[in-house]
Amino acid sequence: MNEEYPERPSENTPTVTRQRSTDLSDEQYNTVKEPQTYQQKKAVVRSYNIIWFFIGLIVALLAFRFVFELLAANPGNAFVQMIYTLSYPFAQPFRSIFGTTNVAYSTFDWSLLVAMFVYVLIGFALIQLLRIIRPMTPEDVNHRIRTV
């Protein structure tokens, strides 16, 4: 019977703990395992950045729309039309929350401010959810990986 791999332990058989059978030292072993961990952490940080990118894009579109309405931009202009078209799906759910304040040709749309605030909160909530699912410390993000 091989001492490392006993067939069946009995009550009187002492338990044998097996050591990691590798020729690598602890430092080399950790260095080999780090690239895999690094890739997982890199994916989490990348997902944070992707979420903030899309939230920033939505908020920027809504901010352009807010400024264009406030300054009474020409709705016939191609760029203004593009901003209005792209921001419409994000602004529409908030349209009836508040009224608009009109002075001369300018429109102060309170609902756009609420929409921007809500989208930033949604982004923050998604990031917090990811932090609960895959917790990371600042040291994990800034840790330098040594290669073999």
- pTM of the predicted protein model: 0.67
From first to last of its 148 residues, what are the pLDDT tens digits of the chain? 555 555 555 555 555 444 554 555 555 545 545 666 777 778 888 899 999 999 999 999 999 999 999 998 999 999 999 999 999 999 999 998 888 888 888 888 999 999 999 999 999 999 999 988 887 766 666 656 566 5
Do the Cβ atoms of 110 and 98 come closer than 8 Å? yes
> Quick one: pLDDT at residue 142?
64
